[in-house]
Structure 1
Amino acid sequence: MGSEARHCFTLKPKLKLWTDGTAWTNWSRHEAYLRSQPKWKAHQVDSVAEESLRILARTTPTGRPEFQCRGLVVGYVQSGKTANFTAVAARASDVGYRLIIVLSGIHDSLRNQTQRRIERELVDVGVNWLALTGPETDFQEPEVANGFGATGTVLVVAKKIVPILERLNRWLGKLEGQLGDVPLLLIDDEADQASINTRGNRRDPSVDEDEAVADESPSRTNELIRDLLRSCPRATYIAYTATPFANILIDPGAFDNHVGEDLFPKDFVVQLPRPDGYTGTEELFGVNAQHRNVLRVVDDNDVKALKPKRRKKGEPLVAHGPLDLPQSLCDALLTFALAGAIRRLRGHQAEPHTMLVHVSQVQKDQIRIGAAIEEQIRAWFNHDRAEPGVILGMLRSSLADLGQVTLPADVDVVLYEGHQNLARLQVVVLNSSTGEELEYDERPDRQLIVVGGNRLSRGLTLEGLTIAYFLRTTTMADTLLQMARWYGFRSGYDDLIRIWTTDGIAEWFVELSLVEESLRDSITALNKAGRRPDEMAIRMRAHSKLLLTSKAKSRMLELDARSWSAESPQTILFPLRDAALLERNLDLASELLIAHPPTHVAHGGAITHDVPAQDIADFLQRYEGHPNSVAFQGSEIADWIMERAVVGELVSWTVFVASPQRERQVLLGGRPYSLVHRSPSGNQAIGVLTDPSHEGVDLHGGPDRYRTGSTFNARAMRHDRPSSRGLLLLYPLDPEPLQAPSRAVLGVALSLPYTSDAGRSFMVNRGLLHG
């Protein structure tokens, strides 16, 4: 398959392709459904419309004879990713995708939730859909394998587990040779869970027939997903997740002899915009959290009471008696009853209201804690019957601890409703042993205390969540973010969110807000630079205490602490024997100077101000240095510049062309510049390119401000340089002493300010580090 078939295409031509002449039948009906729902605001539907079209436009047109497109969509935890991929599915059916498979997590609760939503919002209002799965029915092989004879789109919403994926593969295997006219869209929800290959890839045995090769097949779930895609000549894979560290770290060159290329998002990564009204890490733990009163610290003794020490192998079994709830969990329960009362008085009577209790992944602990919560609520009412007013007194204290909240009624009315609401609380222990479900659709007015572990850690939406009691620890950033079910949309009760946790976990989340921000900035920089993910590494800021993802998923991880903050990279090694390359560099400088002609002459050269970062990055991307150059990597520096520009740094540039008073000159951009003399210090190398005074040509007071005797303090110049402004230095070198076959040799240097990433560690996919 040629590169044209392998890769997706640039956005603008394809956007035109998708919009011209497409009858958006299913999308229009889906859009009309959304606009009819009171919870959807007009601008939110507009955003879904725009983003779904933007994503579809990054994929390969279905008219291509063969393609394997790989993409990644990054959202926020509980932020509307399902809404986005439902809209993408609607549009995909309109442009010719005839089979859409949604892999929705590894638990029935999430799969069933997704199936019901897609049926309600897409299938029931659309046309020509054939759903092979139901609200309570995962995929089973259809009696008639080939269901593609009629027009329309076949839909499957399946769990991402091996038995289900094997059924899907058997089904498509029976249609081998018949799928050429069946474009496949595979949407992988929670794509960093289970989908990542944590093993190897089988090599072609013909490469080294004499060597005995052990079984290096991919991990089974990954292998089955890749086989699904391989079975369809025209296939698009779109991964969805809010924690894409593992997806970004897939080996971009990985290939298995049986199931083909891996799931690295080589064609595109799309960052969904932060939704209006969304509450996330930044709001609860970042700089914007300072004005909130969200966190409540859980004492170490309370943690020990709820998380008893585990019995080591060989130790006698200790029988744990009934659990006395620690005061912090009692406080959280009373606050939850009050929050529910306030919501009901605000008019939210028929809306779900939930409290999260996530202490342990051990099911016995969850069942024990759930039983203790029920017993505690009964004990409060028994005490209140014996001593009337006790509950009201406790609630009054909890209301004071709640902090500044606008009450919808008089305090006594709120307290009375809180007393009533305490009796409404229902405990649901959510794990595979209990088999309980949330039943939000069937019983939307429930006041639920949800106690659980792993089933709460991925995808499942806790509707109306206000109070979280969270003690679960982990070693991985992506896992911790996914366990934080308190993120999402809290319209009308955003002020009621309270989180009980430890100081240590809170500190982890504070730093996670910076990790998330850095990742999203890097994705934005990738797209602003017009690069594909297989052309430019996405940099991920390291967390000081947590791994970004599991070690098994991060074998391609490499530390990349290369921030050029306060540095002055310069070219000292040149391809002096390549006349054509040297001329191309001169032409490149001419293009830049024609676009941004110098405005004045000073300090031994010509100066241009206010050049956009994008133009500087383009210049550095196209500048061709010596292939063995280590000190100056123009392409990598260009990528870093665009990353900094996203956060308001290095957005404006000065260009300085050195032009000493010498007779020998060269034309650049239609005007003459005197040549700079540099002596060779070795084979195709010089000693130092820059004149130290030049790093101050655009600073207040000029270079003389940094002069001591005959020396200039270039480091001080970089220290004083505003973080928003960089300096590009161009040196047209005299070719004669360098014995170069050209009009001049273009030397390039940069003077860079201190930036906010100074001294920070960043991680990248090592398969792209030098790409």
Structure 2
Amino acid sequence: MQTLGPAPLSATLEFFATQQGLGGTDLSQAALRDALTTAHSDHALLWLWRKKLADWDFRTDAKWTGTEPRTDARRAAIHDKLGFEPETRKVVDDLIPVSRLSGPVVISKEFTPWRAARSQQGHDWYWPKYAGLLATRPSWDAEAIANLDEAAERVVERLADPTAEQPYQSRGLVVGYVQSGKTANFTGVVAKAVDAGYRLVIVLGGTLNLLRAQTQRRLDMELVGRENILRNASEVESDYADDEDWVRDKFLRHGGRPSTMGAFDIIRLTTRDNDYKPLAQGIGELEIEKREQTLPLYHPRNLHHSAARLMVVKKNKMVLGKLVKDLRRIGPLLGEIPVLIIDDESDEASPNTTSPNKPDANRTAINEKISELLRLMPRAQYVGYTATPFANVFIDPSDTEDIFPRDFIISLDRPAEYMGVQEFHDLDSEIPPQERTVANSQEKAHVRDVRPTDEEDDSSLREAMDMFVLTAAMKVYRECAGPVPLGVGHFRHHTMLVHESRLQLDHRELRGRLLKLWHEGGYAGAAGHERLRQLFESDVAPVSAARADGYAVPASFEELAPHIGAAWMRIGGNENPVIVVNGDKDIERGEADFDRRGIWKILVGGQKLSRGYTVEGLTVTYYRRSAGNASTMMQMGRWFGFRRGYRDLVRLYVGREETFGKKDVDLYEAFEAICRDEETFRNQLEQYAVMVDGRPQITPAQVPPLVSQHLPWLKPTSRNKMYNAELVEIRSPGQPVEPASYPTSAAAIRRNTERWRPVLEALGSTPTTFTNPPDRSSRLPRSFAACTGVVSHNDLMSVLGQLEWSRPENFRPHLTYLSQLDGTLAKVDDWLIVAPQLESPGRVRATIAGSLPLSLVQRSRQRGKDSFGRIAGLEHQIAAKRMVSRASSSVAADENNEQLIGSRSGIVLLYPVVDSDKFRTVEEAAPGSIADPGSVIMAFSLIPPKTAIDSTRRLVRFRTKTSADTAIIDLPA
């Protein structure tokens, strides 16, 4: 079954029972069901079934079935092959449900498949060993490993065949989430690549010594293994002899040198403590041996008998220069070596930030060295990894020596149990703000505001420190209450991060403030305990009661209090509760090295704590530092990551109304905007990854226009990484289109209002009632009234085509699409205009451009920009989307007025909007009478019918500029 897929289980069991002399054993499916249902969740039998079903569920090359991976149809096919009875199917599916992970999203050029030709590849050794090691860890279940297998395979299959005669350099990008396991993915890629024949692996491990050392250790521990590290030396000679995990036998074991067991060794050219250095004995270690001298190295008869070389190199000009110099000395052999370059945090230092408008300018230093590596090694494959991809997709695609991911972009699944931006924001929550609680609101559960006035007495910083001590006591309590779900019996790390500035002088001052608060905290006395009691009862207890997910929660502060002393000692028992991480190598390699020791401390820092560096056990964050672009800010989000066993204890103290430079910034709002930018980008990648007629809709070169921006001051990435890319058309069948950049001048607003007159005249005077089904928190239907009318498609386009905008380029791609719905692209007959009417006692109604009296709606422009945060009311949009969806299906219209539209009708939600800052003036000037057209913005949100798309199903059309060709390049729809 390992290679041929599932087969009849009963016959298989009977065969093996006969072979093993187990005649008489009950091998019925009833016995199997009993064994599965009575097994503990970690029982070996259940674990093996999870592993095998995950393998079959995820497999994309399952020749034994024509079903899609991770679907009910695939699982049914597995059951059929196994010959399962209906009762057995139900038991298995209940215990091991089909994975609903969507799998990695791939935007790719067409490529030549080569991975299926197993005869051309070596014996798999390192990938099975790596997957087996992960399987021993509690945080890696069978589904997670299968998902990692699939994601790594999507990368490797798009690299060049290492045994191919003709060299080819593929360049790709893998997009993960901040602190979400990208290292695990590229470790899997390296494992599969060396198994396939790649014999030199260069990992660019960040720009800091600490980050490079962390990456080296991970690869040594999980991939290289003890035998390759020792190379017949004694245990005490290992560079990990003082490492706790080495001593506890946590490093991978192969059972012997792989080269003596039919596989091949991995030779390390760097160690944890030593970056790449010029090879003392010439270039011997880089010269890869050839078994048959008359054949090139890439020939399978040579390739699969040679050792692989691995180096983890810091992105430093001097270090990379030494490597380039040594490689040049190898000579012609260099052209025969299949090479894999993994660039961790590839958006930092790697892209060329020299403007393409300056052709004579030198490339930036690190980018030049990476380009040299690629020039030297024609069989080198480049794969960048990042959580913030915008810098990479803005690289000039026509620059053949740069690292633009021309071959593929792969967006990884959001891992299970990961805490990201969504876990700290109530994005588009349907629950009214006044009804949100710690149980139904992420913000109320995990986020605490820091106001500028808190600086006067450090009140917020004091509370954050108290929370740190209190959550430490909660961890100690959980250790005593039962096994902690980390596989080590205790919480090894517990940390608090304080990030206010990048300046070392500020860090010293902040450390002094923290030490003063610590020593004055009275955590061993009555005063401190009284503060902790109040914080426990008002904050920790309610949140944990709602979100502890089965982990132990004390019934009262008295039950927790005995553990405060132990927590206090773990944090400050050495009189040093605060660690500064800002460049001191002794501190980086000692006190703040999470690999070498357990850390229960408060960490203070700036840049060193904001990219790649994983703050283990992070529970409380005090964050007050802004940045000028989304990529940098997202990398500062060290509070993202895996918090198994203490998710309910995580708190973010974040700055509100902070002043940076000449602007006031709400950091919490900024992170929400980044989240929307990121999710829009990922969702569009997913949307456009769908193949059309067996071919990709878009290639990586067409991705830059997909990057969006929700705050004007927060660019996707730094300006010197952004190149020209223009999105010409966005097609949105069945999806809301909501323009944002309305004009600000009274004259332009007045002209726009007058242009809406034909639509306003179509509205009827008798309101229509729209009803939505009950939501999760209510059993009652939700209704609203609206004035309605119908206009033809051409009449609406006549209005939209004349409107003025503060930024016309934002609406132009939508207008291009809508204008083609006259039959050029698809046919839309008419549009239902819905103008919701408010029913609150304080509502203001007025006549606008000769209309019947309509409700005026308050909306606020976003701080520092001309756009409104949101136009359409949530209930209104739900009703409109539901009507459009049902009109395009075969479902009969219900009582929700769905008979008002047909399958070729769209809906326009129309709102006479008054800026909240001016609403009182309008209310007093014209209550119930005629509104000044210059003070009312006719804002709208429209939803085209789902039928508004042609047979190609293509969704985008681009126009791009490159440095090589300044002419516009049109890519057909």
TM-score by structure 1 length? 0.68
Q: Report the Cα offset of residue 375 of structure 1.
A: 2.7
**Structure 1 residue 224 corresponds to structure 2 residue 369:** yes
**Structure 1 residue 153 corresponds to structure 2 residue 308:** yes
Q: Report the Cα offset of residue 525 of structure 1.
A: 2.8
Counterpart position of 2:593: 439
Q: Partners in 2 of 1:555 and 1:396 — Cα distance?
A: 55
Q: Partners in 1 of 2:898 and 2:827 — Cα distance?
A: 13
Deviating more after overlay: 264-273 vs 44-53: 44-53
The 3 A distance-change label for structure 1 pair 244 and 749 is: closer
Report the residue type matching 1:416 in the other structure: P
The 3 A distance-change label for structure 1 pair 393 and 80 is: same
TM-score by structure 2 length? 0.55
Q: Report the Cα offset of residue 341 of structure 1.
A: 1.3
Deviations along 1:460-516, one digit per CA (max 9) or x if unpaired, are 111111110000111100100000001111111111111001231001111222111
**Structure 1 residue 69 corresponds to structure 2 residue 209:** no
User: Identity across aligned pairs (percent)?
Assistant: 31
**Structure 1 residue 770 corresponds to structure 2 residue 970:** yes
Counterpart position of 1:96: 197
Q: Report the Cα offset of residue 63 of structure 1.
A: 2.0
Counterpart position of 1:404: 543
The 3 A distance-change label for structure 1 pair 559 and 542 is: farther
Counterpart position of 1:47: 147
Deviating more after overlay: 9-18 vs 396-405: 9-18
Report the residue type matching 2:210 in the other structure: S
Where do residues 560-579 of structure 1 align in structure 2 (5 Å cutoff)?
562=730
User: 1:99·1:184 contact (CA, 8 Å) conserved in 2?
Assistant: yes
The 3 A distance-change label for structure 1 pair 717 and 115 is: closer
* Alignment match of 1:514 (pick from 671, 676, 700): 676
**Structure 1 residue 130 corresponds to structure 2 residue 292:** no
Instruction: Give the secondary-structure state (helix, strand or coil) at the position aligned to 2:204.
Output: strand
* Alignment match of 2:127 (pick from 17, 21, 27): 27
Instruction: Give the secondary-structure state (helix, strand or coil) at the position aligned to 1:228.
Output: helix
Instruction: Give the secondary-structure state (helix, strand or coil) at the position aligned to 2:948.
Output: strand
**Structure 1 residue 554 corresponds to structure 2 residue 722:** yes
Q: Report the Cα offset of residue 457 of structure 1.
A: 0.9
Instruction: Give the secondary-structure state (helix, strand or coil) at the position aligned to 1:50.
Output: helix
**Structure 1 residue 468 corresponds to structure 2 residue 621:** yes
Deviations along 1:243-281, one digit per CA (max 9) or x if unpaired, are 0001000010014xxxxx211100000011111111101
Q: Partners in 2 of 1:430 and 1:398 — Cα distance?
A: 29
The 3 A distance-change label for structure 1 pair 543 and 715 is: closer
User: 2:158·2:170 contact (CA, 8 Å) conserved in 1?
Assistant: no
Counterpart position of 2:415: 275
User: 1:706·1:717 contact (CA, 8 Å) conserved in 2?
Assistant: no
**Structure 1 residue 300 corresponds to structure 2 residue 452:** yes
The 3 A distance-change label for structure 1 pair 154 and 763 is: same
Q: Partners in 1 of 2:814 and 2:345 — Cα distance?
A: 29
Counterpart position of 1:523: 685
The 3 A distance-change label for structure 1 pair 281 and 766 is: farther
Q: Partners in 2 of 1:132 and 1:58 — Cα distance?
A: 26
User: 2:109·2:700 contact (CA, 8 Å) conserved in 1?
Assistant: no
Report the residue type matching 1:443 in the other structure: R
Report the residue type matching 1:165 in the other structure: L
Deviations along 1:215-236, one digit per CA (max 9) or x if unpaired, are 4221111010011111001010
User: 1:338·1:415 contact (CA, 8 Å) conserved in 2?
Assistant: no
Q: Partners in 2 of 1:462 and 1:506 — Cα distance?
A: 21
Report the residue type matching 1:221 in the other structure: I
**Structure 1 residue 332 corresponds to structure 2 residue 464:** yes
User: 1:9·1:60 contact (CA, 8 Å) conserved in 2?
Assistant: no
Q: Partners in 2 of 1:9 and 1:704 — Cα distance?
A: 44
The 3 A distance-change label for structure 1 pair 89 and 765 is: farther
Counterpart position of 2:562: 416
Counterpart position of 1:430: 581
**Structure 1 residue 83 corresponds to structure 2 residue 184:** yes
User: 1:380·1:391 contact (CA, 8 Å) conserved in 2?
Assistant: yes
Q: Partners in 1 of 2:958 and 2:562 — Cα distance?
A: 54
Counterpart position of 2:296: none
Q: Partners in 2 of 1:113 and 1:295 — Cα distance?
A: 30
The 3 A distance-change label for structure 1 pair 159 and 536 is: closer
Report the residue type matching 2:530 in the other structure: G
Instruction: Give the secondary-structure state (helix, strand or coil) at the position aligned to 1:187.
Output: strand
**Structure 1 residue 494 corresponds to structure 2 residue 647:** yes
Q: Partners in 2 of 1:765 and 1:470 — Cα distance?
A: 38
* Alignment match of 1:534 (pick from 684, 697, 701): 701
Report the residue type matching 1:542 in the other structure: Q
The 3 A distance-change label for structure 1 pair 466 and 714 is: closer
The 3 A distance-change label for structure 1 pair 47 and 222 is: same
Deviations along 1:136-169, one digit per CA (max 9) or x if unpaired, are 1111122231433331111010111111111111
Q: Report the Cα offset of residue 766 of structure 1.
A: 4.4
Report the residue type matching 2:970 in the other structure: H
Counterpart position of 2:221: 120
Where do residues 615-764 of structure 1 align in structure 2 (5 Å cutoff)?
725-728=946-949
Counterpart position of 1:543: 710
Deviations along 1:576-633, one digit per CA (max 9) or x if unpaired, are xxxxxxxxxxxxxxxxxxxxxxxxxxxxxxxxxxxxxxxxxxxxxxxxxxxxxxxxxx
User: 1:176·1:231 contact (CA, 8 Å) conserved in 2?
Assistant: no
User: 2:121·2:195 contact (CA, 8 Å) conserved in 1?
Assistant: no
User: 2:705·2:727 contact (CA, 8 Å) conserved in 1?
Assistant: no
Q: Report the Cα offset of residue 346 of structure 1.
A: 1.4
Q: Report the Cα offset of residue 214 of structure 1.
A: 7.6
Q: Partners in 2 of 1:493 and 1:413 — Cα distance?
A: 18
**Structure 1 residue 354 corresponds to structure 2 residue 495:** yes
* Alignment match of 1:367 (pick from 491, 498, 508): 508
Q: Report the Cα offset of residue 342 of structure 1.
A: 0.9
User: 2:394·2:704 contact (CA, 8 Å) conserved in 1?
Assistant: no
Instruction: Give the secondary-structure state (helix, strand or coil) at the position aligned to 2:331.
Output: coil
Q: Partners in 2 of 1:697 and 1:491 — Cα distance?
A: 45
Instruction: Give the secondary-structure state (helix, strand or coil) at the position aligned to 1:77.
Output: coil
Report the residue type matching 2:595 in the other structure: D
The 3 A distance-change label for structure 1 pair 12 and 726 is: farther
Q: Report the Cα offset of residue 723 of structure 1.
A: 5.7
What number of residue pairs does the alignment pair up? 581
User: 1:395·1:415 contact (CA, 8 Å) conserved in 2?
Assistant: no
Report the residue type matching 1:341 in the other structure: A
Where do residues 234-273 of structure 1 align in structure 2 (5 Å cutoff)?
234-255=379-400, 261-273=401-413
Counterpart position of 1:578: none
Q: Partners in 2 of 1:218 and 1:49 — Cα distance?
A: 37
Gaps of 5+ in 1: 1-6, 203-212, 256-260, 306-324, 569-636, 645-649, 659-695, 731-747
**Structure 1 residue 342 corresponds to structure 2 residue 496:** no
Report the residue type matching 1:130 in the other structure: I
Q: Tell me the C-alpha RMSD between the 2 structures.
A: 4.0
Q: Report the Cα offset of residue 88 of structure 1.
A: 0.5
Q: Partners in 1 of 2:828 and 2:673 — Cα distance?
A: 42
Q: Report the Cα offset of residue 285 of structure 1.
A: 1.8
